[in-house]
C-alpha cells in the first residue's frame, strides 16, 4: 500500500511534468510543420486537461498545487519542424516516465488514471517517433537516474 506522502509527491511530479509539457507544446506548435500542427494541438489540449486534473488531485490529497514556472529549459534548440518533432517525442517520453512513478505510488482510481495517462503519452511518443519502445515510461530510466520530471528554468 502506498504512503499518502509518496502519493502526493508523485502527483506533484506529474503536475510538474504536465506544466512543462504544456510549455513545450507551445514551442512545438510554433515550429511544427502544417502537416502535423493538428496533432500538436491535440497533444497540447490533452496535457492541459491532465494538468487541470492533477491540480485537483493535489488539492484532494491536502496539498497546494505547484505553480507552473515562467519558462522551462528545453533539452535542445528547436529551430525547425524536425526539431519540434524531436521535442514532442522527448516531452511525451518524460511525461510517461513520471506517470510510471505515479502508477507505482498510487492505488485505486488514481492509479488507473495514471496508467491511462502513461498509455496516452506512450502512444503519442510512438506517433511522433514513428515507432514504439518496449516499456514506455521505463526505457528512459536506463539512461538517467532519479526522477524523469522536467526541470523549470530558474535562471
Mean pLDDT of 40-61: 98
Task: Encode pLDDT of 14-30 as tens digits.
Answer: 999 999 999 999 999 99
At residue 87 the predicted structure's pLDDT band, cuts being 50, 70 and 90, is very high
Q: Are 29 and 44 in contact (CB under 8 A)?
A: yes
pLDDT value for 4: 87
Running DSSP on this structure, what letter comes out for residue 141? G
Span 74-87, mean pLDDT?
Answer: 97
Backbone angles phi, psi at 150, to 5 degrees: -65, 155
| Closest to 96 measured CA to CA, from 135, 137, 128, 127 | 137
Instruction: Judge whether residue 116 has pLDDT over 60.
Output: yes
SS3 of residue 2 by DSSP: coil
**pLDDT single digits (tens) 26-49:** 999 999 999 999 999 999 999 999
DSSP string, 114-136: HHHHHHHHHHHHHHHHTS--SST
Tell me: pLDDT of 72 over 70: yes
Mean pLDDT of the chain: 89
Per-residue pLDDT reduced to its tens digit, 123-150: 999 999 997 655 555 554 444 444 444 5
pLDDT at 137 (0 to 100): 55
3-class DSSP string for 67-82: CCCCCECCCCCCCCHH
pTM for this prediction? 0.84
pLDDT computed for residue 136 by the predictor: 54
Amino acid at each position: 500500500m502506498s504512503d499518502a506522502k509518496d502519493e502526493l509527491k508523485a502527483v506533484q511530479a506529474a503536475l510538474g511534468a504536465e506544466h512543462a509539457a504544456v510549455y513545450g507544446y507551445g514551442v512545438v506548435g510554433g515550429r511544427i510543420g502544417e502537416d502535423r500542427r493538428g496533432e500538436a494541438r491535440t497533444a497540447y489540449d490533452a496535457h492541459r486537461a491532465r494538468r487541470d486534473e492533477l491540480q485537483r488531485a493535489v488539492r484532494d490529497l491536502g496539498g497546494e498545487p505547484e505553480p507552473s514556472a515562467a519558462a522551462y529549459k528545453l533539452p535542445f534548440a528547436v529551430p525547425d519542424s524536425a526539431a519540434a518533432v524531436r521535442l514532442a517525442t522527448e516531452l511525451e517520453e518524460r511525461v510517461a516516465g513520471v506517470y510510471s512513478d505515479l502508477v507505482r505510488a498510487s492505488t485505486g482510481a488514481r492509479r488507473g488514471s495514471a496508467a491511462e495517462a502513461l498509455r496516452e503519452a506512450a502512444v503519442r511518443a510512438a506517433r511522433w517517433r514513428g515507432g514504439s519502445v518496449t516499456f514506455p515510461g521505463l526505457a528512459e530510466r536506463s539512461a538517467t537516474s532519479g526522477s524523469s520530471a522536467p526541470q523549470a528554468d530558474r535562471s
